[in-house]
Amino acid sequence: MKRINTPLTEKDILRLKAGDEVLLSGDIYTSRDQAHKRLIKKLPFKIKSAVIYYCGPTQTPPRKIIGSCGPTTSSRMDAFTPLLLKRGLKAMIGKGRRSEEVRRAIKKYRAVYFLAYAGCGALISKYVKKAKPVAYRDLGPEAVYKLTVRDFPLIVGIDAKGRSIYG
């Protein structure tokens, strides 16, 4: 098990291999379908070295930091991803496969794609220590939230050499 922190350095990323289990700590940004449509036009947060989490959480119940917040299907964001990687995005967290174009872009820009435990949104909420909406609040659950996570368990899905866990 490797521990890594945001902002991710190139050295951190190059050390990771597809299939590695890691615990991630630091700041990440939620973003899914509708937010991606806007992100590619104008970026509301610093994308360089950023980590995007494909997630649309439930509303936050009283006395909780966040509600259920597991990963959504990554492939729906494939069309937007190469451009974001080009602009400096370093890591994505989601579930499932990516397109060949995304795999190649991950390799080209030395980034990484992580898998989070899918369908485990209640469990994952326990790793979130802070949550704050930072953009597109009109999108409701699809708004961009800045999450501060501690020891968020992830598996490397595609590493910076373009190797994929799904073969």
Residues that bind other proteins (CB under 8 A): 19, 34, 55-62, 64, 67-70, 72-73, 75, 95-97, 115, 117-123, 125-126, 138, 140-142, 153, 155, 165-166
The residue among 106 and 139 lying less far from other proteins, judged by its C-beta, is: 139
For the chain, what is the radius of gyration of the CA atoms? Answer: 14
CB atoms within 10 A of CB 95: 19
User: Considering 36, 90, 95, 97, which one is annotated as catalytic?
Assistant: 36
Q: How far is the CB of 123 from other proteins (least distance, A)?
A: 4
Q: Which CB atom, from 79 or from 155, has the smaller least distance to other proteins?
A: 155
Question: Is 36 annotated as catalytic?
Answer: yes
Tokens of 55: 């997630």
Shortest reach from residue 42's CB to other proteins, in Å? 19
Of 23 and 123, nearer to other proteins (C-beta) is: 123
**Minimum Å distance from CB 152 to other proteins?**
12
| 140 CB-near residues (< 8 Å, 6+ apart) | none
Q: What values do phi and psi take at 126, rounded to 5? A: -70, -20
Inter-residue contact 109 to 165 (CB < 8 Å): no
Nearer to other proteins, 57 or 82 (CB): 57
Query: How far is the C-alpha of 78 from the C-alpha of 98, rounded, in Å?
Result: 7
Q: How far is the CB of 149 from other proteins (least distance, A)?
A: 15
DSSP, collapsed to helix, strand or coil, labels residue 2 as strand
Residue 134 backbone phi and psi in degrees, to 5: -120, -15
Residues labelled catalytic: 36
